[in-house]
Each structure stands twice: as C-alpha cells, then as structure tokens.
Amino acid sequence: MKRKPIRWLWFGVASAVFLLLASWQLGLPGPHYDEAVEVVPAVQLLRGMAVTAHRGAGIHIAGRLFPIMVVDYIGALNTYFVMPFFLLGGIGVPSMRAMPIAGGLVALYFTFRLAEEWAGERAAVLAAFFLAVQPSFVFWTRQGIFVTSITTPILMAFLWFVWLWWRDGKLGHLIAFCFLAGLGIYAKFLFVWPIGALLLVMAVAWKWNRPKRMPAAKEAFLGAVAFLAGIWPLILFNVQTGGTFEHFTEHLVNSYYGVHNAAYFHNLLIRLDDFRSVVEGDHFWYLGGVHRDVWALAAFLVFPLISLAGDRSAKSVARILVPVAFIGVVILESPITPSSLWVTHFAIITPLVAFSLAVSADGVLRLVGGRRLLLLSLLVSALLVREMITDVQYHRSLAKSGGLGDHSDAIYHLAYWLRTHGKDSPPALDWGISAPVFLLTGGEVSPQDVFGYDNLQKPDEGFRKRILLFLRDRQQVYLLHSPDATVFKGREKAFEEEASRLGLKPKTVAVFAERSGRPLFEVMSVEPGR
C-alpha cells in the first residue's frame, strides 16, 4: 500500500504540540538534586574544574578525569549529552532541560515509525498525538535527567530495529538493536525490564511468527560485539570498583530504601497503582496541584477489549495483545528492586502506553463506518483534548507554585544570595542542596555535602570531624532545610551540639520560602554563645 505524505504533516503537528507543552516555562520547577547532580561533571569539564566522579571511577584523558557512572546503576550519558546544549545556550536550567526534550522528540519519532509499521498510518498518527500530550511523558521529559528519560528514545529505537531485523534479517539492523540494548542497560540498569519483556513476548510469538532468518555465527558474533560497544562503560566501572555488583548483591533481599523484595505480591500492588498513576497522570503533586485524566485509563483498558471483540483474526489479536503483553511483563518484573518502588521507574514505558492506546483505538475505528466512525473519531479527539487540558492545568499550577519541596524555585533565590554574598563553598547539612546551587551558579558556588549518607535519622560517625573543619571559620555560613523539609534528620541538632562545644551558637541569617510562604531553605552562621 502506498503511504500518504500527509502523515508527516500530522507528525510535524504532533511534534510542535509536544514542544509547546514541554518547553512552556522551562525554568520551572526548580532543578531537583537528582536532575542537577548528573550535570555537575559537565559543568566541571566545561569550566576546567576538578571533576567529581562516582566512586572515583572514570577514564583519564590528557590529565582530565571523565566519569562513566552517576550512581552504581545509572550511566553518565546525560553528563555528556548535555554539554553541547550548555555550549550553545549557556549553563543553566533551560539548556539542561532542552537536552531531554530533544530526546523526547526522538522517542516521538520512533514511536510514530514503529506504530506505522505495526498497525498502519492512522495508528502512527494517533500514537504520535497520544504521546505528545500524555502528561507523564510531557512533564517527565521536561525534567528528563531526573527520571533518566534518555532510556525512552533508546528503547523505542531499540524496538524499531528489532522489528526491522525480525522482518528482513539484515545485519545492520541486528547490530543496531544489539548496540542499543547494551547502551540502554548502561544508561539505566532497569533497561533489562523491556529486554526481558521482549524476549518473553518473542518466545511466545515464535510459534506463529518467526524472524525472516536467524543470524549466522559471524553475524551473532558481530551482534555480541555491538552489545559490548554499548555497555562497555558499565563493565569498565565494575572492573574498577565492582560497584554495580556490590550494590545489587547487598540489596538483593532488602533494597537500599527498605523495600522487601520477597514481598512480591505486596510490591506488585504498589506497582499496579504506579502504572495507573502513569496513565492518569496524577503523580505530579510537586508542580503545585494534582490533576487526573481518568478517561485515559478507561480508554487504555476498554479499547483493546472492544477491538478484540469485533475482530478475532490472528493478525488483529497479535496487533492488539503484543504491546499490552509487553507492558504487562514489565510491570510483573518491576516489584523486585535494589532501590525503591518509585513511580518514576515507569517513565521508560510511557511511549509504549501511547503506542498501545493508539493501536487499540485504531482497531476500534477499523470496525465501524459512517456516522459511527465519525462519533468514534470525535471520542478519540476528545481523549486527546482531555490530555491537553490536564497538561495546561499542571502548567497553571506550576506557574502559581513555582514547584514544591525538592522541586521548588526557592533554590534560585538561595543560589543568588550565596553568589552575591561571596559564599563560594558553604557546607550543606542536608541532601538536595549542593548540586542545584552548583548548577545555578555555573560552578561559582560549590556547597560541600557534610551530612553523610549512612542513616536518615542521625549523623554518621564522621559528621563531627567534617563540621569541625568549617566551624573554625567564623565567617562561614551553613545550608539547611527548614525542620519540616529536612531529609537527613538530626543534622541541625548535631550542628548545634558541635558549635556549643566551641562556645558558639547558630544564628539564622536568611530564610528562603516556597511561593506559598512555606520556609524551605535556611542559611545559618555561628556567633559566640552566652
């Protein structure tokens, strides 16, 4: 069948809608710590500063250290991909967020192409629009470094080349998807979820639909080399530190954040609610409000049933059930985690939600004609409009709040105060402060984390020694969260105790609040006690 060029016009419109929704008030909310910490080495490299590398691991080139990991299971792709955006647009939040938005466009493109190959032009256009306006995709992409959203374009490109290879058996397609598989795991280890889902779905489908040809030994070898080319930084990191292996083995039963992995069905219920939240888009409380699109979930659940009831041919069943099964397997894999049961882990499958919804909606539209087709088309259009309304509601809430908690724009005011007062390396007594301040000042202010990571409720054993080094400087200031916003508890009390030992007492110098007036950050100094 000859394809119509107009489909690219519709794709262009969908892309423009996505860019508008994702780029609107790009400086808000304030940069989150997990978002900013990945670009700290990028700023250091661009400014010629000493580079901070996770576990000290990296590659030494011309006397410079180039980090290869952000944490034990997240690679440093964002660190390097953001550098051209900083060079073009300057170091700051808009430039940082332009990078994942560009990645979102890539994910949108491959979702469109895959849907076109899978179910036709109408499904492709629907997939592009459903993804472009999906609140979870839009707002997670805006802060994409925060959720490692770079895995979404990698995943959709990976699935695209898998499909091409399955269809034509070409070596180039085999090498491409093998490389992307390795790169995806390096980007974030949870990429093994969609790889595992794909292998299971392919194994089930093997009886009805096999690849055009299996790779010869030489081709399989080249595929293995391509996979290693994608994953080699993760391998090098573990050769240098053993960090990933150590992290996973230590937290196999109980995760770092206290998830009991043996409680699989309990965790699965949490994951199912997480998925519901992803589809409905009601998890962005930190933007200043909670907005929910229940129509999206209803359509995701009902459209496949209607389509299958109307057309039970093998082709139709496969077209509808494969993407649903793929998502289902990912959900079933997700209750076991080395970290926590965060809803952000499902950012990787947001394009698949739009893909599945589009394919099933197209299946329903195939069943009817005449006035019914018009009515159903209006219903699908209403779904898209409802998603856009949810996006706009979030933007309106964000414009009013500036972001809440760790996402508040109050961090801008703290960073400005520190820079204008010449406080270039103050100690941070809580998590979430140092990296955003470093980013917002372009490295001019580099807070030193002294709180320690051992325990959320009390300082670690080295806290006293670290804070004493700063207490000797009477001109020093100290960065804290307000009491009700503190992450690592007990730091303020321990700080007061150590200051008291030296005959000093803390004094509040400045307070920075959310737009609502809720205090969030405190700057303290010390003065002679009574």
- Please, are residues 481 and 430 in contact by the beta-carbon 8 Å criterion? yes
- Clarify whether residues 366 and 437 are in a common domain: no
Q: Are residues 390 and 415 in the same domain?
A: no
What pLDDT does 181 receive?
97
Low-confidence ranges of the chain (pLDDT < 50): none
Q: Is 258 helix (H, G, I), strand (E, B) or coil?
A: coil
Q: What is the pLDDT of residue 337?
A: 87
pLDDT at 401: 97
Q: Is 53 left (phi over 0), alpha (psi -120 to 50) or beta?
A: beta
Residue 495's pLDDT is 82
Whether 232 and 373 share a structural domain: yes
Q: How far is CA 477 from the centre of its chain?
A: 33
Number of domains in the chain: 2
- Residue 317: how many CA atoms within 13 Å on its side-chain side? 7
In this structure, the answer to whether residues 61 and 96 fall within a common structural domain is yes
CA 475 – CA 480 distance, rounded (Å): 17
The last residue of a domain, from among 361, 380, 401: 401
Assess whether 137 and 39 both reside in one domain.
Answer: yes
**What pLDDT does 372 receive?**
65
Flag whether 1 is in a domain. Answer: no
Q: Convert 268-299 to b/e letters by CB count within 10 Å (16 or more is b).
A: bebbeebbbbbbbbbbbebbbeebbbebbbeb
Owning domain of residue 361: 6-401
Q: What is the pLDDT of residue 367?
A: 82
Phi, psi dihedrals of residue 110, rounded to the nearest 5°: -70, -30
Helix/strand/coil percent split, the chain, to 5: 65, 10, 30
pLDDT one-digit tens code per residue, 463-518:
888 888 888 888 899 999 998 888 877 777 788 888 888 888 889 999 999 999 99
Please say which residue of 350, 371, 401 terminates a domain.
Answer: 401
Same domain? For 300 and 423 the reply is no
Q: Specify whether 146 is located in the same domain as 273.
A: yes
In a domain, 128, yes or no: yes
- What confidence score (pLDDT) does residue 461 get? 76
Bridge partners of 75, per DSSP, are 69
pLDDT value at residue 3: 65
Residue 95 shares a structural domain with residue 226: yes
Residue 375 included in any domain: yes
- Is there a single domain that holds both residue 469 and residue 388? no
Regarding whether 470 and 334 lie in a shared domain, the answer is: no
Q: Which of 383, 401, 419 is the last residue in one of the domains?
A: 401
Domain check: are 285 and 391 in the same one? yes
Judge if 336 and 422 occupy the same domain.
no
Structure pTM? 0.93
What 3-state DSSP class applies to 306? helix
